[in-house]
Structure 1
Amino acid sequence: MFRFIYSVVFYLITPLIILRLVIRGLAAPNYRKRWGQRFGFFTPSESSKETIWLHAVSVGETLAAVPLVKALQEKYPERRLLITCMTPTGSERITAAFGDSVDHSYAPYDTPDAVARFLKRVQPKMLIIMETELWPNTVAACYKRQIPVILANGRLSEKSARGYARVSKLSGPMVAQLSAVAAQHGDDGGRFIALGLPVEKLHITGNIKFDLELNAQIRLSAEALRQQWDGTNQRPVLLAASTHRGEDEIILQAFSLIKQSVNNALLVLVPRHPERFNQVGDLCLDAGYSLARRSNNDSTDNADILLGDTMGELMTFFGACDIAFVGGSLVSNGGHNMIEPAAWGKPTLSGLSVFNFAEVSRLLAEAGGLSLVEDAAALAESVIVLMKNPEQAQQMGLSAQQVAEANRGALERLLAVIDNSLSQ
């Protein structure tokens, strides 16, 4: 009954969802493309191969899924992988990371007809969902067709758990129908149990984002980029990564304070969403800074700020900077992936809103590899101290890197959960 009501509501708001796509498409034209896929109209490239369907909602989940996808391709070469997402930026990352070695589509909207149409065309042998992107009709449809559904790298913050609990008549049956939850931490697992997941379906596997690989190619790219940023001077570089609306102004305010003490500092500012690139560039110019753009390959010799207005280079940026600030955390967005700068051995800063990475932030902060700041003044103070004390910055980065190395191994445990479900 509750899923029926949910489905009716979803159908009723579908015109509003389409209108939102149109509006977003004004700034990001890719939102206007491939609408048929969102309603289940997708045909796999190789119907003769059994398909494993992996869903990664957007960029962050897609990047986390990269080592998993490569491991699945190696482990199950006889099967075809289909990777779905919900956003154009996620789609671009999937194409860049895997090319035509996987099938790719937008995920169907969670209406009974769209999901049924999609499953009939794809006929997956398993659905792997990254982190928390759970949809009642999708899970129920797979359960009815005896398609195992695994929540991989599962996380559930206290805030999200409270939201699910408010609709427990809908979320409870959905969680109970999952085949397995591979949770990042025991706290996440406990919240899934409280929502109705049977205990025997819970596996604490750790966070697969710790299993990222920094290969020789990306290390060389980071080194070359750092030389480009230095130019004729040895400039200290602050990277502000994955910033959100309302956060860039705080970063720029902090940077003005930093420049008073470290005049030659370079700020590399990377907005989270590409449709905001030009807007953030205007903010920098309005604040009186000289601006270079990565998309133009501009020289940073005479620039205060480099706008990171390209896609797919953030990992390289982390390798090339001196200090990394991870965005989505000075606004109430829950933060982004701090493991990436930690893996590079960079001293890492974040705002106080870190509920999306609660356990990671705790581990890094306790080890001395992460500092949490509450506002522009605190951010500026932390950056100035680190820029003026390179030995302290190096030790902080080493502490972060040790945490990243110590927590590897989640991918292997997750693969065991997947293998067990496929073999049943």
Structure 2
Amino acid sequence: MLFYRILLTLLTPAIAVWLLARRLRGRETARGMAERLGGGTGTRPDGPLLWLHGASNGELTSVRWMVEAMVQRCPDLGLIVTCNTETARALVEGWGMAQVTARMAPLDARWAVARFIGRWRPDALLMLENELWPNRILMMAARKRPVLVFGARMSEGSAKAWARLPALCEAMFGALAFVSAQDEMSRTRLRGLGVRPGRLGPVTSLKARGPAPGAVAPLPDTLRHAFTPSATLLAASTHPGEDRAVLEGFARARAAGHVARLILAPRHPRRRAEIEALIRAAGLDFATRSAGADPGAAPVYLADTMGEMDVWYRLAGVTFVGGSLVPAGGHTPYEPARFGSAILHGPYVANFIAVYRALDRAGGARVVADAAGIAAALADLSDAARRAQMAAAAREALEGAPGGGEDALFAALAKALDRPALRT
């Protein structure tokens, strides 16, 4: 632990420069900077308060159903939700829940965490997936505030890195009050790193749980009439370095008559101008969602908004899952599978390796490496029977994913917050 604190102290000037650079580039607001330093505006609500932390959009979207259940079961419960990106904060604010406050997460420096805890006085901390921050964990535990982790992910490489710091591991992992891993290998590694066996809950993948297709709001007529799923490709949560390949692959397939429309939904909407330039360079007409433009007959629809990904999944017969053509680890395939879309992905899927292996084995997904691969896949999937077969295989492969264990998660929250109503 001493090594970690010394390292953070030495890195403080670099962190300050990083924050300033983000601010100058318009990627950080003054409000966000203040919150990262443990400050900002706002006052603690009365009653119990849960600090919920998730890295970004995917993690927080995966627990929206849980947040909704918590505030319904326990009306006096407040939640302060922290995240690492401005887009994720906007996503949470878009939920429109009066009991939920969204903020940028404090840096994991002792002084920043102390300012945050002192201001908000959370009764418990719930972290999602691989967001394991030593100072947040240990400073909450030192105040006798339970720390829980849901959907914990621990790769082999991360486990080896943590194991190089045995004293830190013993203190941090030993301080966790409850941990539910997202797969058996993560569970085994977490136990080896120091999580006490009695504090390990059931294996649960939060992203395997989501709204049924019939439970979401009806599609707007302008979108429902503009897109025919059998002729539409969705590129979901794309990262820099992927859009060009997607556009080129789509253009080839469109020229051959295999697909008509592309919905391009970048991971970060702030990349709008960059992506618009790429679309123009590809010689394709387009409409931009954030500009209020209707799709019309444009072959490309730039879906650069937050909180609408479920809409785009319902409009596409084929989905390319982003973050996988570049080494970003990939994003979840659960949503496109749930909405009946055939799935394409690149080779970089370390974040969900077991899930993608199951999909690939079952014929529920197809690996593409570049524009040519995307074009070839779209040619193959222009056949309705083949596309339906892949979508059905994806749903079947993911039906057995460990998405249960909800009772144990709510029981852990009820104990941590001393609110039995959360169990019901």
- State the TM-score, normalizing by the size of structure 2: 0.91
Residues 373-393 of structure 1: per-residue CA shift (max 9 Å, x gap): 233222221121111x11221
Matched AA of 1:399:
A
Q: Which residue of 2 aligns with 1:397?
A: 391
Residues 92-149 of structure 1: per-residue CA shift (max 9 Å, x gap): 0110014432122222211112212222222222110011111111111111111110
Between stretches 401-410 and 258-267, larger displacement belongs to: 401-410
Q: Which residue of 1 aligns with 2:4?
A: 6
- Report if aligned partners of 2:222, 2:294 keep a CA contact under 8 Å in 1: no
Q: SS of the counterpart of 1:48?
A: coil
Matched AA of 2:34:
G
Matched AA of 2:99:
S
- Report if aligned partners of 1:318, 1:341 keep a CA contact under 8 Å in 2: yes
Between the aligned partners of 2:176 and 2:160, the Cα distance in structure 1 is: 19
Q: SS of the counterpart of 2:107?
A: coil
Residues 155-212 of structure 1: per-residue CA shift (max 9 Å, x gap): 1122322332333443342112111111111111111122222222222332121221
Q: Which residue of 2 aligns with 1:338?
A: 333
- How far apart are residue 29 of structure 1 and its match? 5.0
Specify which structure has the higher proportion of helix: 1
Q: Which residue of 2 aligns with 1:351?
A: 346
Counterparts of 1:315-394 in structure 2, within 5 Å, are 315-387=310-382, 389-394=383-388
- How far apart are residue 31 of structure 1 and its match? 3.4
Counterparts of 1:255-334 in structure 2, within 5 Å, are 255-262=250-257, 265-334=260-329
- Report if aligned partners of 2:230, 2:384 keep a CA contact under 8 Å in 1: no
Q: SS of the counterpart of 2:249?
A: helix
Q: SS of the counterpart of 2:179?
A: strand
Matched AA of 1:274:
P
- Report if aligned partners of 1:222, 1:317 keep a CA contact under 8 Å in 2: no
- Report if aligned partners of 1:330, 1:353 keep a CA contact under 8 Å in 2: yes
- How far apart are residue 221 of structure 1 and its match? 1.6
Counterparts of 1:229-248 in structure 2, within 5 Å, are 229-230=227-228, 236-248=231-243
Between stretches 292-301 and 39-48, larger displacement belongs to: 39-48
Distance 1:69 1:270, change over 3 A: same
CA RMSD of aligned residues (A): 2.4
- How far apart are residue 239 of structure 1 and its match? 0.5
Between the aligned partners of 1:71 and 1:399, the Cα distance in structure 2 is: 31
- Report if aligned partners of 2:44, 2:119 keep a CA contact under 8 Å in 1: no
2:23 to 11, 22, 25: 25
Q: SS of the counterpart of 1:147?
A: coil
- Report if aligned partners of 1:241, 1:324 keep a CA contact under 8 Å in 2: yes
Between stretches 5-14 and 140-149, larger displacement belongs to: 5-14
- Report if aligned partners of 1:42, 1:121 keep a CA contact under 8 Å in 2: no
Between stretches 54-63 and 165-174, larger displacement belongs to: 165-174
Q: Which residue of 2 aligns with 1:62?
A: 60
Q: Which residue of 2 aligns with 1:183?
A: 181
- How far apart are residue 38 of structure 1 and its match? 1.8
Matched AA of 2:343:
T
Matched AA of 2:312:
F
Between the aligned partners of 2:214 and 2:220, the Cα distance in structure 1 is: 10
Distance 1:359 1:28, change over 3 A: farther
- How far apart are residue 307 of structure 1 and its match? 1.3
- How far apart are residue 264 of structure 1 and its match? 5.3
Q: Which residue of 2 aligns with 1:130?
A: 128
Q: Which runs of 5+ in 1 are unaligned?
A: none
Between the aligned partners of 1:239 and 1:364, the Cα distance in structure 2 is: 18
Residues 334-354 of structure 1: per-residue CA shift (max 9 Å, x gap): 100111111101111111111
Residues 28-63 of structure 1: per-residue CA shift (max 9 Å, x gap): 454332422222225764543121111112111111
Between stretches 319-328 and 102-111, larger displacement belongs to: 102-111
- How far apart are residue 287 of structure 1 and its match? 1.9
- Report if aligned partners of 1:345, 1:399 keep a CA contact under 8 Å in 2: no
- Count of aligned pairs between the two proteins: 418
Q: SS of the counterpart of 2:240?
A: coil
Distance 1:73 1:404, change over 3 A: farther
